[in-house]
Amino acid sequence: MSMSYWAPSPFNSRPHDGVGLLLRHSLHKHVQKIDSWNGRLLKLDLFFHQTKISIISVYIPPYHSIHYKERNAIFAQLNLWLDKACSNNYHIVILGDFNADEISHSHLPQHHLKILRSLSSQYFTDHQSHISLISGSSPTFYHQNGASRLDYIWSSPGFPAPSLFSQVETCPKLNDNQFTDHRVLITAFDFSSCFATLAKARLKQKSEQRTIFLYKNLKEDTWDKFSNEVNSRLELYLTTHHPSISSLSVLSLDKLWHALKRSILGGAIDSLPFQHVSNTHHHKYPPELTMLIAINKFLDRLLFKLTTSRPSRPAQISQMINSLSTQLILLKSLLKDYTIPFYSTTPLPAFVKFLHSIEYYTALRDEHFSTSPDSFISSALSVEYRSIVLNRVLVVIDSKPTLLTDPSDIKQAAIKHFQSVVTPPLIQYSSIDEFSSRWQRAYTPLSDIDSSLYDSVLSPILEDEWKSTLNSMPNNKASGPFKISYEMLKHLTGGAFNLSLILANACLNQGDIPADWREALVYPIPKPHEFDAQLKNTRPITLLETVRKCVVKVVTTRLSKILADNQVLQGDNFAGLPGGFTDISIKMLDAIIHQRHISKAFDSIDLNMLRLALIRLHIPSLLIKFIINLFTRRNNKIITHHGDTSGYRVRIGIDQGEIISPLLWVIYLDPLLTTLNREACDPFILKSSALLDYFPIEYEQHNLPVSHITFMNDSTLIASSKRGIEDRLSITAEFYTLNNTQANSAKYILLSSEQFSQTIVFDLSPSPLISCPTLTLKALALFTSFRFLGVWFCLSASSRFVHNQTTSMVKDMVALLSPKKLLA
């Protein structure tokens, strides 16, 4: 194998200077710059078209007073290189002999370990530690008195080449002599994505591309070919790379996953149809036609508003009528030089094709009427599937709004926003002993629950359960970072299926997941209001690896069934568990309104507090470890119009795309809801009567105290007095502070059976956890409707009000549907 070697010139002729870098010759052409410092540091800058990587080799002298100044100078120079590399968007690898061990050197002064802690605080990945979480990291230096771990390989957050494995090997002897007291630390990276990146000039010519597999109308023999190809590749890979293993279960999680991933993707490329699609395709119209389309949309909206009735429409219609003359003048100027072309009696082929497309989609809508009601309703109602394109971002720079359009600026702004949208907690609680008495009681482990209740959650997954889980996953869903779809997983057979099951059970046995499963893609979607090029108007949907989601689904299904069957949760949250439907919450709210007393306030997860909430339910430590590991040491990339951003370290919270997230929300909120049920004053009493006998008439009265109605993380606080709402707001404010949860008081709504003409100030109870002592809310009018879990409510319970709103909605529906007649 042809290799290239770099080493700095000797410094002061010291015999023990020793840093160098050895690269495959194929990488030589990518080396753009070489820097060295005093024989202790060596840096190579590599360019892979759109990816820049700095590799830094380090030797730090051992701890001794004679090396104190030199060590500090090395740290300073290394930090200088790191700062410059980060500011120029380089990915970084640091490797070498650091002469520092967190364990065996713990008795030494703290500054001896500052380089290791500095890298950790900057979210660099220590690959040996990362891979060896279960068994512990192996020593790399042996001496008469013991062994130490002095050698390290680190990579910066979001490093583009995923690590495959890391291990320590004994150096071979040289002339039958052991020439070093160190062992060799090896970390393997997959640089294929760096080599596969298109050059910038080619990006301009061919646009950025990604590969999508085409599953529609695939025949069974194609899937059989895929299954056989995956198994053949897997067998070849295992024979080549792991010929001596007796069982696949002895391999690490990362090696198991790498074998499965490589085989599936290789088999898919060879046997399944695919196409390349571009992120930068623009459908461009001539400027005049663009303006005509805009005017046509304006006139269409105006006509729709004039033919339908809504109380809120007059102001909008008035504004549009005032703009009508301007639109008509512009239309006249555009049509002035436009002449209608003459067509022969035989339509042009393009026009015939257009007519045929209308007929096709009309017929398709007819077919959907009976075969796919969801598709028919979406078509008939002209449902608009809203999405955004991150090709511009509005930010504030020096107090001035600035629109970013440069691709690199957009990507950096997106990373900054999504990484800091939730701030890490100022205080991290590790024990409930640090809480006030109220929250100590709330988080104290439940006395009537035993951890053996959960033994089945981490029991081995059997073949039928795993196959059923794979088959239950939906088709036509976006895949994770490595593009392995559910369709592919459903067609695994033989060795590949067995390997996926071995991997799943290994995750449960170790309470951990492969490193690749901590990588994810973030797809921003719009909130209900307009995007307006502001990232705050988006929310992230996280695309996780599909095999990971299947494993988590098994755990979620098992755990939620146990929690539901044994009624473990105490807070009456009507979501996240089997049988948890919205109808209970809706019926309770309807009953309360009809008794005409109500006050209501509508409303990220701290992993330390989640751990305490899990301990409260006596969840076994291995299961807690598995759950927490799903959300630690994660790196995300954001999908933009100009391709994915570089990776960034996720600081806090759980993923909205994770299957177990709804269940964790319920567990996370249960201490709060339990406290509200137990401590909140002046609950609303929901009364009902049961007829026991009709002669003489005899009733039995039932009273149900209600302090909240909660579904998922939407909490409705209910009380019979203003003092009761203040008490509930105080308890929830303490909980939010304790859990570093972001509560948006701007979304709070006050509903009351009394008519208030002004805003109401609520005084919260004094507490060290409450920073704002008051909360001001404005009550909705009695004759104003509101939606709760998709159902319309009105406090007045007026049948006339309900009739008028229903009539208006029906008229709008008729105006929308009448032009879309069925042919059949």
The domain ranges of the chain are 3-201, 284-339, 348-385, 580-606+662-824
pLDDT at 602: 31
In order, the DSSP letters of 308-369 are: S--TTHHHHHHHHHHHHHHHHHHHHHHHTT--PPP--SS--HHHHHHHHHHHHHHHHHHHHH
More confident site: 255 or 196: 255
Average pLDDT, integer, range 768-794:
75
How far is the CA of 682 from the CAs of 109, 677, 707, 722, 725, in angstroms? Answer: 58, 11, 8, 9, 8
Q: How confident is the model at residue 473 (pLDDT cuts 50, 70, 90)?
A: very high
pLDDT at 3: 64
pLDDT at 378: 74
pLDDT tens, residue by residue, 747-767:
676 766 666 666 778 888 888
Quick one: which H or E segment has residue 686?
Answer: strand 684-694
Q: Are 85 and 92 in contact (CB under 8 A)?
A: yes
CA 93 vs. chain centroid, Å, equals: 26
Q: How many CA atoms lie within 13 A of 408 on its CB side?
A: 5
More confident site: 209 or 653: 653
* pTM of the shown model: 0.66
CA angle 692–695–699, rounded 5-degree value? 30
Average pLDDT, integer, range 510-515:
94
pLDDT at 263: 95
Q: How confident is the model at residue 398 (pLDDT cuts 50, 70, 90)?
A: confident
pLDDT at 596: 37
Q: How confident is the model at residue 695 (pLDDT cuts 50, 70, 90)?
A: low
pLDDT at 213: 85
Average pLDDT, integer, range 790-796:
70
More confident site: 653 or 668: 668
pLDDT at 346: 46
pLDDT at 52: 85
Q: Are 702 and 689 in contact (CB under 8 A)?
A: yes
Q: Tokens for 791, please give them.
A: 């159902």
pLDDT at 572: 61
Q: How confident is the model at residue 342 (pLDDT cuts 50, 70, 90)?
A: very low
pLDDT tens, residue by residue, 98-152:
888 877 777 777 677 888 888 887 778 888 776 555 456 678 787 777 788 888 9
pLDDT tens, residue by residue, 276-314:
766 544 444 566 666 776 777 677 777 777 766 555 556
Task: Please provide the size of the chain in residues.
Answer: 824
Least confident of 605-619, 628-642, 696-710: 696-710
> Which of 92-101, 128-137, 309-318, 511-520 is predicted most confidently?
511-520
Share of the chain above pLDDT 90, in %: 22
Q: Is the pLDDT of residue 618 over 90?
A: yes
> Which of 326-340, 395-409, 494-508 is predicted most confidently?
494-508
pLDDT tens, residue by residue, 201-232:
444 444 456 778 888 888 899 999 999 999 99
Contacts of 315 (CB under 8 A, 6+ apart): none
pLDDT at 258: 94
Q: How confident is the model at residue 184 (pLDDT cuts 50, 70, 90)?
A: confident
When the pLDDT of each residue in the chain is averaged and rounded to a whole number, the result is 78
Q: Is the pLDDT of residue 582 over 80?
A: no
pLDDT at 265: 93
| Topology at the third CATH level for domain 3-201 | Deoxyribonuclease I; Chain A (3.60.10)
